[in-house]
Chain A
């Protein structure tokens, strides 16, 4: 149950950020789409919107919030579940509320705001999805937003991280039907996070070569995964020298998309934005390099095991 950021800008009067710090990580979010803009149905802009921040620490985003709720670490699932009970008018256990680090009054107030807003949106970040509970936390947030639609219009959206991760998900989805963790080893797509996802494959040592495109796993992934990238042939396509390119056997310098190469980037609400390069450069685009690799692979005779 989601929407575009344009709808948030034009309609949302309650904006909740949970486990994210947009003031630092998405610095244009407030000013372009969520709290500062005047929208078609929010003509008073900031004055017509309420912003709630839920996080375990007081980040710079708290300064922009009307309401800051400091939840205890790893108590997001419990807090979301209590909110689900409160919006349905169920009784909640005082001891369970105390564990969240919040008071019943704070949670009742938030539940009331959620039920009575005209258009609410819950943005959730890595503080919810990549901490203990992971997909269960995300599922609790999605369920809460879905259930709020019995009272008002309510949507939810993940606060995506690096540039164009949404694009990778979207393209994988329309080509294989799955967003990530896809194996094509049998000639058709199979989806199984934990088995075919990148970190699991690397940590278990299931892959014997890796192509890295537009990422720097050498500076972001767990050390056991980085160690496997260093042990096995790794090919990196990147405009810059990175931690990953240093451990790679092959580094092909490519053009920076949007600067010296055209391309498409997907915004976090999955709206595609075409990029027109303002400059020209000497390096090929990622697409050019990949097409040449594919053509070279096609020219090679099919590999067959010896003795067959």
Chain B
């Protein structure tokens, strides 16, 4: 079954930046980069409760995140950059040298 379609916007957060300097092996860092923020109404439609896992997939790869409600527009997801987002980032740079690091079309389903 195909999952619901969303636009994933990875980004930076203050806590993630602090944890990078503490150490990427720490559980706190792993938790930060594996937590995805979704609009509460989208979570309801998807049948996902706060703290549940979701599988995010696109043409590059897939990763599993813990879902939490937050202040993002409907249809949009936010997740801090980290190894899980690397698995979803395509290698195409469109001749610029930069990969498309934001605005990925993804499918999401409960894991």
Q: Which residues of A contact B (CB under 8 A)?
A: 21, 23-25, 27, 56-58, 60, 70, 73-74, 126-127, 129-132, 134-135, 161, 180-181, 193-194, 197-200, 202-203, 216, 218-226, 240-243
Contact = CB atoms under 8 A, between A and B. Distances in A.
A223 B82 CA distance: 11
B23, B73, B96 pick with most chain A CB within 10 angstroms: B96
A199 B91 CA distance: 7
A242 B100 contact: no
Given A21-B12, A27-B14, A126-B102, A194 B86 contact: no
B97 A130 contact: no
Contacts of A193: 93, 95-97
A134 B96 contact: yes
A24 B101 CA distance: 18
B90 to A, nearest CB: 6
Contacts of B91: 199-200, 202-203, 222-225
B82 to A, nearest CB: 6
Interface in B64-104: 71-73, 76, 78, 81-83, 86-87, 89-103
A129 B97 CA distance: 12
A181 B11 contact: no
A197 B93 contact: yes
Nearest to B14: A24
Contacts, number: 112
Contacts of B103: 73-74, 131-132
Interface of B: 7, 9, 11-14, 17, 23-25, 60-61, 71-73, 76, 78, 81-83, 86-87, 89-103
Given A73-B9, A127-B102, A130-B101, A222 B72 contact: no
A134 B94 contact: yes
Contacts of A242: 24
Listed from nearest, the 5 A-B pairs whose CB atoms lie closest are: A197-B97, A194-B95, A203-B91, A193-B97, A224-B91
Contacts of A200: 91, 93, 97
B87 A194 contact: no
28 contacts: A21-B12, A24-B13, A25-B14, A57-B76, A73-B9, A73-B103, A74-B103, A126-B11, A130-B98, A131-B103, A134-B94, A134-B100, A135-B96, A161-B12, A180-B97, A194-B93, A194-B94, A194-B96, A194-B97, A199-B98, A199-B99, A216-B24, A223-B60, A223-B89, A223-B91, A224-B91, A225-B91, A243-B24
Contacts of B96: 134-135, 193-194, 197
A58 B82 CA distance: 22
Nearest to B91: A203
B97 A198 contact: yes
A240 B99 contact: no
A187 to B, nearest CB: 22
Contacts of A224: 60, 90-91
Contact of A226 (B25, B86, B95): B86
Nearest to B87: A223
A243 B86 CA distance: 12
B100 A132 contact: yes
B17 A25 contact: yes
B68 to A, nearest CB: 15
